[in-house]
């Protein structure tokens, strides 16, 4: 405005005391030069302002996204160190949603808070300017805007919070439905049209609810801007109308002051809107912060990595275990010698898998103790003990990748060791007819047969050269002929290892040294 004032009329330089003082102080002798210099300074100011804004926006984005990356990494690390017993009580869909979606939304909330802080400074500066211009008019503006802000925060924010809670709930349901679909795709394809329509209808209802929650958020997000702008500029017009009505004269004498207020409002109202929008974002996505905090506050395993050597025996002394306050194992006394081939049998729910999980260190007993060569297994050596276990589960999970990636899975790639375990698992020759170690298995191992997937699981268990092989009903899903063939290979592989297994078919455990029977969590001798 000063530049336009001077450039449009040079005489204003001399009629305005501030322009004149500046003109004299810097020793100008030509009005054109003064106007040009002022214009160049103005240009420099806008370039500087743009640079500062860009730097600020980049710094804010960099801070919020780094926060997201750090939070996500910490969440993932917490998942890795979460006690197995605690993990079994969690929903995998919810865990996935928190680490991917909620952490990202949380960083967006932090960015909104940073914007709120910057806009608060703008409002304070302009509000101070308005007070200097006319504290009475400012007081009127403040009173009316305060009433509007109270309405926005008390009414709109409540609706925003309610919509945010609904968003978090239905998004969790969406993750769960999608995971069920992909995890049971073959089964779903075999359902009749009514069942498919029911599943599709359920997802549609959840998707509609999610869209409705976001619609409310978007609408309520735009409401404060329109509400404040309409009220603010209407207030200016009402003041003009009131002045005209009460004085009966033109309003030229208040135009400078009112122009200042119009300009201030033009800048304050967007800032106020951004402050309210940031607050509403905090309200709407507050559940994201809660979800992230819930995971970060979960108890974590703090394990050292002291070495524990297994050369003689594993001993369980008076071991008892309860799951959700329900006794699962009671007073288990068991000795497993190095090189033993043992099996546990019993009805479903008798505690076989729980006993296996205790032996391999996934669970810790509520009472009693486990010793390896008379050394107590505890937090100082538990991690090392787990690393000596080769585990072959009933349900083999193969991810969408190569054979090499699925077998190594978290361990360093070594071609020689990889080829050796694939040969031991009797699947190396088959892979040579495909793409060798680069053969793709498909998600869930869909490109392989049941027997081939089990052999990949055996190779994975053998890759770390474990001292103990554990089979948790690993072949029960196979036909008898394939099961017997794989079990023969497992017995051959485990000649110099300790073999512990759970099985239902007596034919698969007939070559075991000892067969223990479990009944209602109690070990009832050998068969």
Instruction: Render pLDDT for 173-221 as a digit per residue (tens, 0 to 9).
Output: 887 777 777 666 655 666 666 767 777 788 888 888 888 888 887 787 7
DSSP string, 181-195: HHHTHHHHHTS-HHH
d(CA 205, CA 199): 10
Which residues contact residue 260 at a Cβ distance below 8 angstroms, ignoring those fewer than 6 apart? 129, 130, 133
Beta bridge partners of 240: none
Closest CA relative to residue 90, chosen from 161, 209, 175, 167: 175
Instruction: Please check whether residue 111 is in contact with residue 60, taking contact to mean a CB–CB distance below 8 angstroms.
Output: yes
pLDDT band at 473 (very low <50, low <70, confident <90, very high): confident
pLDDT band at 232 (very low <50, low <70, confident <90, very high): low
- Reply yes or no on whether the pLDDT at 392 is more than 80: yes
CB-based burial, 135-147: b 16+ in 10 Å, e otherwise: eebbeebeeebee
d(CA 276, CA 292): 24
Tokens of 475: 């072949």
pLDDT band at 47 (very low <50, low <70, confident <90, very high): very high
pLDDT band at 105 (very low <50, low <70, confident <90, very high): confident
Which residues contact residue 357 at a Cβ distance below 8 angstroms, ignoring those fewer than 6 apart? 84, 363
What pairing do the DSSP bridges indicate for beta strands 367-372 and 313-323?
antiparallel
| β strands within 301-348, DSSP E | 313-323, 326-337, 341-345
SS3 labels along 465-520: CCCEEEEECCCCCCCHHHHHHHHHHHHHHHHHCEEEEECCCHHHHCCCCEEEEEEC
What pairing do the DSSP bridges indicate for beta strands 389-392 and 468-472?
parallel
- Reply yes or no on whether the pLDDT at 368 is more than 90: yes
Beta bridge partners of 345: 517
Q: 365 or 395: which carries more pLDDT confidence?
A: 365
d(CA 81, CA 298): 10
- Reply yes or no on whether the pLDDT at 33 is more than 90: no
- Reply yes or no on whether the pLDDT at 252 is more than 70: no
- What is the 8-class DSSP label of residue 444? G
Q: How many CA atoms lie within 13 A of 374 on its CB side?
A: 0
d(CA 341, CA 465): 17
Q: What is the pLDDT of residue 258?
A: 67
- Reply yes or no on whether the pLDDT at 57 is more than 90: no
Summarised one tens digit per residue, pLDDT across range 146-160 is 777 777 777 777 787
List the single range of 18-32, 64-78, 83-97, 311-325 with lowest mean pLDDT.
83-97
Average confidence (pLDDT) over 446-464 = 86
Q: What is the pLDDT of residue 48?
A: 94
- What is the 8-class DSSP label of residue 425? T
Sheet (strand 514-519) strand order? 389-392, 468-472, 498-502, 341-345, 514-519, 522-526
Average confidence (pLDDT) over 21-30 = 86
Q: What is the dihedral of CA 410, 414, 415, 420, to 10 degrees?
A: -90
Chain position carrying tokens 């375990």: 421
Q: What is the pLDDT of residue 188?
A: 63
525 backbone φψ class: left, alpha, beta (φ>0; ψ -120 to 50): left
pLDDT band at 139 (very low <50, low <70, confident <90, very high): confident
Q: What is the dihedral of CA 274, 279, 283, 285, to 10 degrees?
A: 50
DSSP string, 86-102: HHTTS-HHHHHHIIIII
Chain position carrying tokens 């190569």: 402
pTM, two decimals, is: 0.68
Average confidence (pLDDT) over 497-526 = 84
Q: Cα angle vertex 458, ends 452, 462, to 5°?
A: 145
- Reply yes or no on whether the pLDDT at 247 is more than 70: no
- Reply yes or no on whether the pLDDT at 318 is more than 90: yes
Q: What is the pLDDT of residue 251?
A: 57
Q: What is the pLDDT of residue 351?
A: 87
Most confident of 90-94, 169-173, 192-196: 169-173
d(CA 168, CA 380): 40
Average confidence (pLDDT) over 251-273 = 69
């Amino acid at each position: 405005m000063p530049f336009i004032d001077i450039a449009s009329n040079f005489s204003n330089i001399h009629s305005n005391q501030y322009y004149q003082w500046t003109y004299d102080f810097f020793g100008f002798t030509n009005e054109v030069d003064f106007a040009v210099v002022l214009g160049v300074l103005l240009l420099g100011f806008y370039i500087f302002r743009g640079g500062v804004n860009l730097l600020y926006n980049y710094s804010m984005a960099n801070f919020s996204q780094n926060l997201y990356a750090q939070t996500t990494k910490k969440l993932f690390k917490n998942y890795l160190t979460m006690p197995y017993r605690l993990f079994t009580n969690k929903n995998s869909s919810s865990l996935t949603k928190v680490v991917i979606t909620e952490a990202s939304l949380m960083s967006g909330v932090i960015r909104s808070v940073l914007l709120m802080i910057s806009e608060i400074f703008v409002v304070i500066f302009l509000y101070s300017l308005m007070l200097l211009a006319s504290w009475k008019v400012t007081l009127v503006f403040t009173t009316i805007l305060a009433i509007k802000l109270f309405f926005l925060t008390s009414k709109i924010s409540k609706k925003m919070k309610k919509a945010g809670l609904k968003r978090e709930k239905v998004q969790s349901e969406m993750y769960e439905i999608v995971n069920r679909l992909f995890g049971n795709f073959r089964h779903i394809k075999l359902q009749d049209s009514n069942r498919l329509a029911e599943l599709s209808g359920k997802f549609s209802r959840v998707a509609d609810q999610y869209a409705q929650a976001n619609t409310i958020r978007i609408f309520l997000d735009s409401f404060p801007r329109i509400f404040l702008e309409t009220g603010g500029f209407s207030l200016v017009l009402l003041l003009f109308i009131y002045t005209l009505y009460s004085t009966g004269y033109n309003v030229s004498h208040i135009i400078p002051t009112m122009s200042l207020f119009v300009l201030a409002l033009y800048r304050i109202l967007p800032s106020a809107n951004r402050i309210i929008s940031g607050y509403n974002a905090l309200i709407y996505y507050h559940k994201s912060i809660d979800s992230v905090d819930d995971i970060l506050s979960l108890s974590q395993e703090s394990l050292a990595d002291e070495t524990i050597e297994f050369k003689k025996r594993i001993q369980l002394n008076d071991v008892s275990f309860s799951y959700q306050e329900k006794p699962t194992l009671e007073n288990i006394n068991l000795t497993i010698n190095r090189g033993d081939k043992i099996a546990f049998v019993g009805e479903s729910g008798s505690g076989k898998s729980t006993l296996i999980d205790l032996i391999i260190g996934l669970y810790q007993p509520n009472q009693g103790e486990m010793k390896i060569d008379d050394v107590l297994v505890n937090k100082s050596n538990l991690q090392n003990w787990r690393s000596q276990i080769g585990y072959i589960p009933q349900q083999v999970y193969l991810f969408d990748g190569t054979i090499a990636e699925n077998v190594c899975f978290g361990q360093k790639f070594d071609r020689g060791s990889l080829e050796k375990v694939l040969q031991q698992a009797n699947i190396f020759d088959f892979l040579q007819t495909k793409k060798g170690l680069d053969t793709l298995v498909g998600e869930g191992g869909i490109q392989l047969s049941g027997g081939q997937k089990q052999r990949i699981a055996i190779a994975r268990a053998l890759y770390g050269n474990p001292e103990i092989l554990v089979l948790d009903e690993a072949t029960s899903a196979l036909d008898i002929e394939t099961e017997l063939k794989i079990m023969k290979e497992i017995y051959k592989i485990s000649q110099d290892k300790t073999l512990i297994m759970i099985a239902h078919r007596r034919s698969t455990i007939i070559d075991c040294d000892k067969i223990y029977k479990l009944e209602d969590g109690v070990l009832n001798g050998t068969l």
